Structure 1
Amino acid sequence: MPKGCLVITVSGPGGSGTTTLCRNLARYYGFKHIYAGLIFRQMAKEMGMTLQEFQKYVELHPEIDREVDKRQVEAAKECNVVIEGRLAGWMVRDADLKIWLDAPMMERAKRVARREGISVEEAYVQTAEREKQNRKRYLNLYGIDIEDRSIYDLIINTAKWGPDGVFAIVKAAIDHLSPTVTRGNKN
């Protein structure tokens, strides 16, 4: 990989702050942002399904997961990219920095409720069900236990720091890893 070229993965459950962090990294460093969740949501919309319906559909059609994951691996061949996805750290094995974001379930449910315009109770149930389905799917499809955090270089509880604090922690890690990657450097 060329000097000053980084591939960063950001993973975590719904409502943990992965999208916020990735957008901030992309904006600050000029990194390209690849978002597996957006691809997944667009596919659900194209099929006229809710996210929950599509999740169940995908359980019976593993080729969809494989396609989304393949796109992440392809994106990792680029320079200065941040790849966001539940399995990004697992799929992009040689990433320079693998980050896992998390927060207590109730905090994440509150964030999802605000984002989706639903009640906290509904968000809690949907999030818990989605995580259960994802864990089962990833185990069946790849033999990956999404609860295994051993592959991550940096694990952050986003309930302890707001978006700016999380960004500051990750920025310090990036700057330590590669001082030649500077703000807006797209080399």
Structure 2
Amino acid sequence: MLLTVSGPPGSGKSTTAAGLAEALDLDHVSGGDIFREMAAERDMTPVEFNEHAETDDRIDRELDRRLHEIATTREDVVIESRLAGWLAGDAADVRIWLDAPIEVRAARIADREDKDVDRAREETRRREESEAKRYREYYDIPIADLSIYDVVYNTARWGPESVLESIVSLVEAYDPDLDEGKHPVEGVRYDF
């Protein structure tokens, strides 16, 4: 089984993906972990590497290529990244999108990164705009189009345990023989 967990910063991707992997005895692959590995390969901190990525499109493309390769060659894995659902395409059994209002996400990020909520909100807004532009430019992915996802959750309305419990139930009820409701990923250019 291949599951993808996607969503904007602060939506609960990491918590949910790790919980899904544990609950369903699947491997967990995090785009953030791969990004940190790539930074270490270049002897940079993640912050330095992120700043470098803003001016070097090869970084995003390498990260996305690695995730796409994992999604199309491995089984029994939960892949977590903003583009995981798009990069996995039809190889994914269940594609999940998590979201929450910017105020909620900014508060989570501020708490996690020990920074001011206003600063977290502005950084998050700028990051999302930049990423949406790059995803469209690089791959023709309209990140705001949620029609490819099987499950979309507003994680501000339920706690992490409730979100996880609900998604685990949905995944366990998944019937791979029913493909009538699958949302194909079309028109994406994988220009890695």
C-alpha RMSD of matched pairs (Å)? 1.8
TM-score, length-scaled by structure 2 = 0.83
- Report the AA paired with residue 11 of structure 1: S
Aligned equivalents of 1:11 and 1:43: distance in 2? 20
Q: Equivalent of 2:77, from 81, 91, 95?
A: 81
Q: Equivalent of 1:111, from 75, 90, 108?
A: 108
Aligned equivalents of 2:128 and 2:25: distance in 1? 31
SS at 1:8's partner residue? strand
Which residues of 2 match residues 1-187 of structure 1 at below 5 A?
Answer: 6-44=1-39, 46=42, 48=44, 51=47, 54-76=49-71, 77-94=73-90, 95-177=92-174
What count of residue pairs does the alignment treat as equivalent? 173
Larger deviation: 154-163 or 164-173?
Answer: 164-173
Greater relative contact order (CA < 8 Å, ≥ 6 in sequence) = 1
1:178 Cα deviation from its structure 2 partner: 5.1
Structure 2: unaligned runs, 5 residues or longer: 177-192
Maintained 8 Å contact 2:35/2:46: no
Maintained 8 Å contact 2:24/2:168: no
Residue identity (%)? 45
Aligned equivalents of 2:149 and 2:45: distance in 1? 33
SS at 2:89's partner residue? coil
Maintained 8 Å contact 2:23/2:168: no
Maintained 8 Å contact 1:59/1:137: no
